[in-house]
Structure 1
Amino acid sequence: MTDRNSQIRATLNTKLMESGEREQMKQLLRQRLIEYGWRDQMKSYCKEIVKQKGLENITVDELVQEITPKGRALVPDTIKKEMLARLRQYLSKHDDI
């Protein structure tokens, strides 16, 4: 990623936080993931990993590292498109980014 892209992302993130839009998007994302059963799928997957490795043999950080790729892959495309559309809508209203 170039420095320019990093700068744009940082500016966008700041604007989203200042406006409260970031928190609204996070809430919407949580709601949609629950509606689609993603949360339940991830909960089951976590239990499976802990059962396989043993509770004493895995840290929270290791568990997060293990489940993150699957968690990202399980997010339905419809949710990704909805979030992207909302971000684009925000950007279209804020030319200063």
Structure 2
Amino acid sequence: MLYKTSIEQSLILSGEKDRFKELLRTRLTECGWRDQIQMLCRQIVKERGVQNITADELIGEVTAKGRALVPDAVKKELLQKIKAHFSQDM
């Protein structure tokens, strides 16, 4: 856990965390992932009824499916950029 914290701290201090988040947002929009998630949310709300589901329940249902829908190319690109960032620092 300490290692994860120091990595995150390094990303925050360098400003890279925000840049990586923005890159991820852009790539997910470009590949249609955000649209897929919106449709999935609408489908779940329609099936269960807007009065019968909370935001937390919706998030719980969508999170695992959403992670699985992230294209491998997007994951790979982000991982390569993170690795490149840390290899430059060393």
Partner Cα separation in structure 2 for residue 94 and residue 12 of structure 1: 12
Residue 24 of structure 1: which of 15, 19, 22 is its match?
19
Residue of 56, 59, 63 corresponding to 1:64: 59
1 CA distance for matches of 2:80 and 2:53? 38
Code of the aligned partner of 1:62: E
Which of 33, 36, 39 lines up with 1:41 in the alignment?
36
Distance apart, 1:20 and its partner CA: 0.7
Give the secondary structure class of the aligned counterpart of 1:46: helix
Indicate yes or no: 2:72 matched with 1:77.
Answer: yes
Q: Which runs of 4+ in 1 moved over 6 A?
A: none
CA deviation after TM superposition for structure 1 residue 47, in Å? 0.1
Count of aligned pairs between the two proteins:
90
For residue 8 of structure 1, report the CA deviation from its aligned partner: 1.1
Unaligned stretches of 5+ residues in structure 1 = 1-5
CA distance in 2, matches of 1:91, 1:7: 17
CA-CA distance at 1:90 after TM superposition: 0.9
Partner of 1:89: 84
Find out whether 1:50 has 2:45 as its counterpart: yes
Distance in 2 of aligned mates of 1:51 and 1:73: 22
Task: Report % sequence identity.
Answer: 47
